[in-house]
Amino acid sequence: MVWKISTTKLLNISIASFCRNNQLEKAEIVIIDGIRLGVLPDVVTYNTLISAYCRLVGLDAASSVLSRMKEAGIQSDLITYNTLMASATTHCLFQTTLELFDEMLKRNIRPNVWTYNTLMHCYFKSGKPDEADRVFQHIIDPCPTTFNIMINGLCNNGYTANALSLFRNLQRCGFIPQLPTFNILINGLCKSGRLGSARRILRELEQSGHKPNAITYTTVMKCCFKSRKYRQGLEVFYEMRDKGYTFDSFGYCTVIGALVRIGRINEANKYAEEMSRNGGKLDLVCYNTLINLSFKEGKLDVVDRLLEDIEKAGFAVDKYTHAIIVDGFCNSGDFDTAKRHLKDMSQNGLDWNIVAFNCYLNALARSGHLHRAMRVYYSMDIRDSFTYSSLVHHLCKSRRYVTASKLLQACLRSRGKILKSAQRAVLSGLRYSGFSNEARKVHKAIQTAKILQHK
């Protein structure tokens, strides 16, 4: 391929075009043909190539371009190092980011705000918020992205209160936050469980003249549902609909899942139909939500169709899909089909699915089939805190306190955790039934487990 390139500028334009279209091989050919015609690449040429390699291939490939620059006698510049540092941080190669920063300083290349932004992001992602704060204190001319990185990093490292204080201090200093800043802070507050603060920031956002977007509302809505504050979450959802925001499949399934959990099946079905009419693209999480809804409505034919659709879409059903299927059959009273599904999972070589087995065990015990539940318990290769807590709870309800105490002690010996309500039920049940010695053993086991957990 021969390209009639007359200037380095035209060479760079051609390379940038190919890189934008993910055609790296053609970009490399353009460089070779340009050199053959006497048009030599410059630092812009290689920076464009480095950026494309970072985005499409990886840091190693991009670093090889840096070596080619040195061989060609072209000095790397600030953009070169900023690009490589950003790529290293994105791929969690934090030591490489710091080494690139040191190398840049040794070459007397002066960092700019984007360099420091990347360095802060690197320290936050590597769990070193104090180092990130030190970098922040030395930035002479921070930009809005700097503040966003700082607020997001503090939230992700568990310093949500500090992030909120920084946000207030910035406002007092004249900083006018834009929508991305509000969204970052709202997301951080929601993740830390501070729903009240998140909703106050949302109201502040609305009063500031900025319009919350779908991301803002969905973040708060998910937080409400996770905190089991379904009424508040649905209020956010209805407000979002009234303002004309469109939902993606994920947003619909978040609402549908919440409605299913509180028993509002008809309403959940209405939004499932609406999502289907709007042609939402479904992922596996969406399919799992719809399968769960179909079981709740008793539409087993729809479940079969959804499973076929999952296969046609190229998805592989996950542990949660199987758990939903097992739970669905159990809730409909069809324990034999649920058992067959568990058996089929094992025969098909699937990994141990403790969620599915816990659903089966809990459903059996809840329906009064404690003997069958105990057999499932003894057959399980792996048990977790839910396994023990569920079984202990149902044994106590049946006043089988001694058996419950044995399971409780077995859980504590294996360094497992069990709900405090289940512990109290066992102790009070043993004492009420006259098993004082057994109650003392259980109390001692609980105290020993507390000591071991703090070591």
Judge whether 339 lies within some domain. no
Alpha-carbon distances of 388 from 135, 369, 400, 438, 440, rounded to whole Å: 48, 16, 14, 18, 20
Number of structural domains, the chain?
A: 2
Of 86, 111, 136, the last residue of a domain is: 111
Judge whether 97 lies within some domain. yes
DSSP 307: H
Judge whether 222 lies within some domain. no
pLDDT exceeds cutoff 90 at 72: no
pLDDT exceeds cutoff 80 at 337: yes
What is the structure's pLDDT at 454?
A: 60
pLDDT exceeds cutoff 70 at 6: no
Judge whether 36 lies within some domain. yes
The predicted-structure confidence for 390-407, as pLDDT tens digits, reads as follows 999 999 999 999 999 999
What is the structure's pLDDT at 358?
A: 92
Least-confidence region, from 1-15, 65-79, 114-128, 304-318 = 1-15
Q: What are phi and psi of 408, to 5 degrees?
A: -60, -45
Judge whether 95 lies within some domain. yes
Of 71, 91, 111, the last residue of a domain is: 111
Closest by alpha carbon to 10, among 29, 34, 43, 26?
A: 34
Q: Please tell me the distance from the alpha carbon of residue 26 to that of residue 28, in angstroms, as a whole number.
A: 5
Q: At 11, which CATH number?
A: 1.25.40.10
pLDDT exceeds cutoff 90 at 189: yes
What is the structure's pLDDT at 157?
A: 94
Judge whether 352 lies within some domain. no
pLDDT exceeds cutoff 60 at 3: no
- What residues contact 273, with CB distance under 8 A and at least 6 apart? none
The predicted-structure confidence for 356-395, as pLDDT tens digits, reads as follows 999 999 999 999 999 999 999 998 888 888 899 999 999 9
Q: Please tell me the distance from the alpha carbon of residue 213 to that of residue 219, in angstroms, as a whole number.
A: 10
| DSSP string across 57-95 | T-HHHHHHHHHHHHHTTPPP-HHHHHHHHHHHHHTT-HH
Judge whether 411 lies within some domain. yes
Look up the pTM and report it.
0.67
Q: Which two tokens stand for residue 130?
A: 């104090």
Of 111, 127, 156, the last residue of a domain is: 111
What is the structure's pLDDT at 185?
A: 95
- Give me the chain's average pLDDT, please: 88
pLDDT exceeds cutoff 80 at 351: no
Q: Which domain holds residue 414?
A: 383-455
What is the structure's pLDDT at 280?
A: 66
* Pair 46, 69: CB distance under 8 Å: yes
Closest by alpha carbon to 372, among 360, 385, 359?
A: 360
Judge whether 212 lies within some domain. no
